[in-house]
């Protein structure tokens, strides 16, 4: 999970569709896409995932589904990302098998310690900085927290939360393997240009 990951937010993408923003961001250099939608009815979520996968797969860009293991299995997504309130990683791994990437958000030090024995492929360090797009987290890690996780954890780390051109260099310096952004791409006036700028910093 190196490089620049676009995490989708339908409201921030509007009036553009999620598909349109994904297309532009990938053209600009985003190297993975996480489809996240906590409100969409299941059928519409599935159809969005199918459309994204049809675009991403031929380009070798992994599609990661947030939370919904059933939708990930239905479309054959490359990965599944879960938070601490979603299915436990052990259950995700059991349902999805060994060939699917499993990412886990860590919001507390306990989460990080527990993750060392969990069958996950990367940790989402969430949030590095405070962010308006996710309101259910437990406080920001900061660069110190990220560096502390880097020194302790066996996993690749994907940083998320308040990341943009001004903050990404410090986060990479502190040990992030990958950079995930929501607003910096979904709300960008020109997502392709924004992705090009951010990918160069990852």
Query: DSSP H helical segments within the chain, as ranges?
Result: 10-13, 18-28, 42-56, 69-75, 89-96, 109-115, 142-152, 168-173, 183-186, 191-199
Q: Is 86 in the site for a second copy (CB under 8 A)?
A: yes
Candidate list 19, 87, 114, 142; residue touching a second copy; CB under 8 A:
87
3-state secondary structure of 109: helix
Q: Is 85 in the site for a second copy (CB under 8 A)?
A: yes
Q: Is 153 a catalytic site residue?
A: no
Q: Is 195 in the site for a second copy (CB under 8 A)?
A: no
Cis bond before residue 127 (omega within 30° of 0): yes
Catalytic residue among 32, 105, 126, 153, which?
Answer: 105
Q: Is 119 in the site for a second copy (CB under 8 A)?
A: no
Q: Which stretch binds a second copy (CB under 8 A): 41-49, 121-129, 160-168, 185-193?
A: 41-49
Distances (CA, A) of 68 to 36, 92, 101: 9, 10, 14
In sequence order, the β-bridge partners of residue 102 are 80
Identity of the residue, 82 or 195, whose beta carbon is nearer to a second copy in the bound complex? 82
Q: Kindly state the smallest distance separating residue 76's Cβ from a second copy, in Å.
A: 11
Which residues make up the interface to a second copy (CB under 8 A)?
Answer: 41-44, 46, 67-71, 73-74, 82, 84-88, 91, 94-95
């Amino acid at each position: 999970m190196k490089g620049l990951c676009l995490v989708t937010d339908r409201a921030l993408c509007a009036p553009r569709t999620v598909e349109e923003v994904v297309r532009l961001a990938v053209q600009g250099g985003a190297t993975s896409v996480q489809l996240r939608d906590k409100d969409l009815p299941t059928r519409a979520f599935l159809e969005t995932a199918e459309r994204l996968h049809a675009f991403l797969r031929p380009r070798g860009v992994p599609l990661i589904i947030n939370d919904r293991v059933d939708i990930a299995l239905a479309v054959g997504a490359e990965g599944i990302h879960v938070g601490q309130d979603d299915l436990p990683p052990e259950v995700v791994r059991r349902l999805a098998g060994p060939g699917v990437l499993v990412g886990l958000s860590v919001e507390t030090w306990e989460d990080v310690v527990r993750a060392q024995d969990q069958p996950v492929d990367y940790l989402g360090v969430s949030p590095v900085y405070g962010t308006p797009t996710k309101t259910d987290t437990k406080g920001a890690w900061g660069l110190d927290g990220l560096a502390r996780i880097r020194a302790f954890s066996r996993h690749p780390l994907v940083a998320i939360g308040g990341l943009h051109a001004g903050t990404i260099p410090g986060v990479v310096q502190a040990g992030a393997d990958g950079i995930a952004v929501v607003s910096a791409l979904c709300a960008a006036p020109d997502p392709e240009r924004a992705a090009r700028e951010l990918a160069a910093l990852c």
